[in-house]
């Protein structure tokens, strides 16, 4: 009886102590960090009400759920190394890799034997540019590209120049397209490669690749094209284009990141010097274990693109018109950068007069878009692509790239129009230059004095 009474008293004392300590901890925590029930997301010092609308498809696209479904078994149960030749796990992975190779080849009218898997279009571009010129270096010391290529091609060309090769950078017109006469005139007896991208990643213009291919064939010069932004969006045919090499990317066509492909023509055969040494996978051109889930995803994405490209194109074109007409109906001084006739509809690069691009981007926190300006900590320079088009520096600084894709909705387009118009009007209200223009003053005639 005494022991029961002692136990009861001890339990009551411990319970009261526990409640007291719990209350003290709560009050201390409240004093240190008051709880705020405020909705929204804060990241990198920017607070937004929720996840923004995604209109930056040229940077990357979301993985199509059907692509993910195809990939998952090769992460979970069919996880074998495709280069393991002695058991089922390797055999089934190898079959999956070869099936995906055929899917990629079908989208560009190539043979599966002409597809080499890489980590992405950047690696494919490096293999193409440096690999070709290094292989034929004894006879070929010159290559041709354009001023508006992707940075990985331009940097590869500069690397070759440091090694003693000559590089011709063709200019483009105000529409972003090259002059075929300039290309023809630039070809020399020692020209080893012409590298011109199919669809520009920044302004969306489509180069006359078929005509370029004919000129290269006439002069017996290999033709390489970076088709990362073209694959699955416009019809691609390696025979019609007469390309010797083509760079492809998985994550631009609703596939996974970290995988790409290089098309290498077999007849007439084009040779490259490998840029990586190792186990000799991918015919010795790109050593390293082929990542089965990623290449399965890229193959599935290419198969879907082949089936749905026509439908996607019609839908995305209608979305682009809705976006452009919606903005122009409420704003003046809106300029489309690049040709409207020769462009991929899902890429709409606009400049807004009398508005600074970075300020506009910061104001458009609810819309995920990209600026045409390249901003660094030391300086703010306008895009080299827009400079090559001859766009005025003040307009080049105001460019915004809107990327429309397979999963973009009409509601998102309408909301993007509303937010863009609001922000541009807000910034123009604060702009003395816009006030002067409204008063009829031509600001280009003003001679600004320096103090």
pLDDT of res. 43: 81
In whole angstroms, what is the distance from residue 282 CA to residue 288 CA?
8
Determine the Cα angle at 178 with ends 175 and 183, to 5°: 170
pLDDT of res. 366: 93
- Residue 134 CB contacts under 8 Å (≥ 6 apart), including other chains: 272, 273
In whole angstroms, what is the distance from residue 122 CA to residue 156 CA?
10
Q: Which residue has the tokens 């030391």?
A: 378
CB atoms within 10 A of CB 335: 14
CB atoms within 10 A of CB 301: 31
In whole angstroms, what is the distance from residue 35 CA to residue 23 CA?
16
In whole angstroms, what is the distance from residue 432 CA to residue 58 CA?
34
The number of CA neighbours under 13 Å toward the Cβ of 273 is: 9
Closest Cα partner for 84 from 72, 97, 73, 71?
97
In whole angstroms, what is the distance from residue 405 CA to residue 372 CA?
19
Contact between 195 and 143 (Cβ < 8 Å): yes
CA 451 to centroid of chain Cα atoms: 43
Q: What is the DSSP letter of 131?
A: H
pLDDT of res. 44: 76
Catalytic pick from 157, 216, 302, 375? 375
pLDDT of res. 154: 97
Contact between 352 and 423 (Cβ < 8 Å): no
Pair of tokens at residue 63: 């993985």
pTM over 0.85: yes
> pLDDT by residue for the chain (451 residues), tens digit each?
444 444 454 445 444 544 444 444 344 444 444 444 456 788 877 788 889 999 999 999 999 999 999 999 999 999 999 999 999 999 999 999 999 999 999 999 999 999 999 999 999 999 999 999 999 999 999 999 999 999 999 999 999 999 999 999 999 999 999 999 999 999 999 999 999 999 999 999 999 999 999 999 999 999 999 999 999 999 999 999 999 999 999 999 999 999 999 999 999 999 999 998 899 998 889 999 999 999 999 999 999 999 999 999 999 999 999 999 999 999 999 999 999 999 999 999 999 998 887 888 888 999 999 985 443 334 467 899 999 999 998 888 889 999 999 999 999 999 999 999 999 999 998 877 777 777 667 766 666 656 5
pLDDT of res. 439: 66
Pair of tokens at residue 84: 């393991």
Establish whether 216 is a catalytic residue: no
Contact between 343 and 229 (Cβ < 8 Å): no
CA distances in angstroms from 397 to 141, 347, 367, 436, listed in the order given: 37, 18, 19, 20
In whole angstroms, what is the distance from residue 338 CA to residue 82 CA?
44
CA distances in angstroms from 65 to 10, 72, 297, listed in the order given: 59, 11, 10
pLDDT of res. 380: 63
- Cα torsion angle, 204, 122, 243, 308, sign: negative
- List residues bridging with 143 in a β-sheet: 167, 193
Question: Three-state DSSP class for 78?
Answer: coil
In whole angstroms, what is the distance from residue 145 CA to residue 221 CA?
13
In whole angstroms, what is the distance from residue 213 CA to residue 210 CA?
5
């Amino acid at each position: 009886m005494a022991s029961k009474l002692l136990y009861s008293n001890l339990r009551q004392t411990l319970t009261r102590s526990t409640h007291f300590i719990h209350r003290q901890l709560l009050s201390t925590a409240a004093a240190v960090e008051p709880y705020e029930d405020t909705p929204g997301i804060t990241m990198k010092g920017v607070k937004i009400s929720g996840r923004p609308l995604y209109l930056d498809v040229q940077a990357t696209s979301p993985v199509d759920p059907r692509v993910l479904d195809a990939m998952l078994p090769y992460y979970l149960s069919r996880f074998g190394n495709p280069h393991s030749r002695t058991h089922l796990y390797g055999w089934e992975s190898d079959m999956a890799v070869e099936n995906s190779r055929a899917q990629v080849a079908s989208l560009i009218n190539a043979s599966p034997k002409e597809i080499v898997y890489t980590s992405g279009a950047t690696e494919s571009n490096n293999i193409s540019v440096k690999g070709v010129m290094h292989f034929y270096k004894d006879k070929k010391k010159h290559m041709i590209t354009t001023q508006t290529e992707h940075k990985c091609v331009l940097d590869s060309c500069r690397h070759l120049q440091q090694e003693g090769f000559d590089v011709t950078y063709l200019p483009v017109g105000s529409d972003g397209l090259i002059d075929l006469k300039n290309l023809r005139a630039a070809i020399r007896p020692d020209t080893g490669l012409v590298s011109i991208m199919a669809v520009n990643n920044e302004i969306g213009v489509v180069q006359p690749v078929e005509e370029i291919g004919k000129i290269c064939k006439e002069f017996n010069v290999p033709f390489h094209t970076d088709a990362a932004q073209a694959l699955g969006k416009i019809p691609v045919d390696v025979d019609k284009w007469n390309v010797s090499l083509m760079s492809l990317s998985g994550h631009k066509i609703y596939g996974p990141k970290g995988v790409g492909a290089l098309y290498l023509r077999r007849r007439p055969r084009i040779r490259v010097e490998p840029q990586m040494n190792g186990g000799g996978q991918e015919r010795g051109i790109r050593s390293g274990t082929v990542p089965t889930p990623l290449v399965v995803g890229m193959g599935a994405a290419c198969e879907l693109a082949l089936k749905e490209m026509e439908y996607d194109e019609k839908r995305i074109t209608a979305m682009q018109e809705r976006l452009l007409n919606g903005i122009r109906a409420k704003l003046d001084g809106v300029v489309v950068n690049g040709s409207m006739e020769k462009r991929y509809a899902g890429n709409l690069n606009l400049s807004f007069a009398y508005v600074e691009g970075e300020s506009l981007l910061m104001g458009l926190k609810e819309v995920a878009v990209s600026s045409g300006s390249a901003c660094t900590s030391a300086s703010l320079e306008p895009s080299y692509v827009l400079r090559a088009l001859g766009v005025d520096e003040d307009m080049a600084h105001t460019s915004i790239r809107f990327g429309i894709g397979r999963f973009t909705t009409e509601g998102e387009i309408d909301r993007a129009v509303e937010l863009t118009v609001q922000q541009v009007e807000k910034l123009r209200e604060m702009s003395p230059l816009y006030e002067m223009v409204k008063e009829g003053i031509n600001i280009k005639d003003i001679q600004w004095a320096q103090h």
